[in-house]
Structure 1
């Protein structure tokens, strides 16, 4: 019998991984930067991440989503991961956490 996974626990582990990935132009991780809109985990350990970029012309538009996908897939509990990019709503500084704003001197 397969072990039931704790999707909340897995979600927290995924967020920890996302906080290790930094935007190359801004010295803040992508989670605190507000680039991650949603992390969905199902009971089959499949993960879908909805994220955006600071701009559609972002220099890491190709590599950053791949890095997110690969890092999340590297977690033992994750069977598969998919990253979807959206620009709706577009990213603004309002999406940044207080911590990120403080780090960048915006508070």
Structure 2
């Protein structure tokens, strides 16, 4: 296994750790546990692409939340660049939330 492969796995874990520090301001659960992060791609050039959604298209943080994700991921030393793409396909539902998020919000 080359060090490149190890790096992208390690980098992926660092990215997730950072993403888990970002919260939807209306819900006391991080955006990862909420199920808003659909996918994280890291290429060999250490460029990151994050596919995420919002709870609704009219979400009050529709402008600021993706920028916060982008900025925080870009702040990781090993990341060369980061881009967030918003999608509403599939639309977010409460089913995408982790058990921990549902427990936190009293839904279990």
TM-score by length of 2: 0.95
Hey, what does 2:99 align to over in structure 1? 98
Q: Distance in 1 between matches of 2:23 and 2:49?
A: 19
Q: Secondary structure at the match of 1:22?
A: coil
Which structure shows the higher helix fraction?
2
What are structure 2's unaligned runs of at least 5 residues?
none
CA shift for structure 1 position 4: 3.1
Shift of 1:26: 0.4
Residues 56-97 of structure 1: CA deviation (Å, up to 9, x unaligned): 000000000000000000000000000000000000000000
Please state if 1:85 is matched with 2:92: no
**RMSD between aligned residues:** 1.0
How far did 1:50 drift?
Answer: 0.1
User: Separation in 2 of the partners of 1:79 and 1:87?
Assistant: 27
Which consecutive segments of 4 or more residues in structure 1 shift more than 3 A?
none
After TM superposition, the structure 1 = structure 2 runs for residues 30-45 of structure 1, keeping only pairs within 5 Å, are 30-45=31-46
Structure 1's unaligned 5+ residue stretches are none
The DSSP-based 3-state class of the residue aligned with 1:17 is helix
Distance 2:77 2:56 in 1: 32
Q: TM-score, normalised by structure 1?
A: 0.96
1:4-46, Cα deviation, whole Å (9 max, x unpaired): 3611110000000000000000000000000000000011100
Secondary structure at the residue paired with 1:4? helix
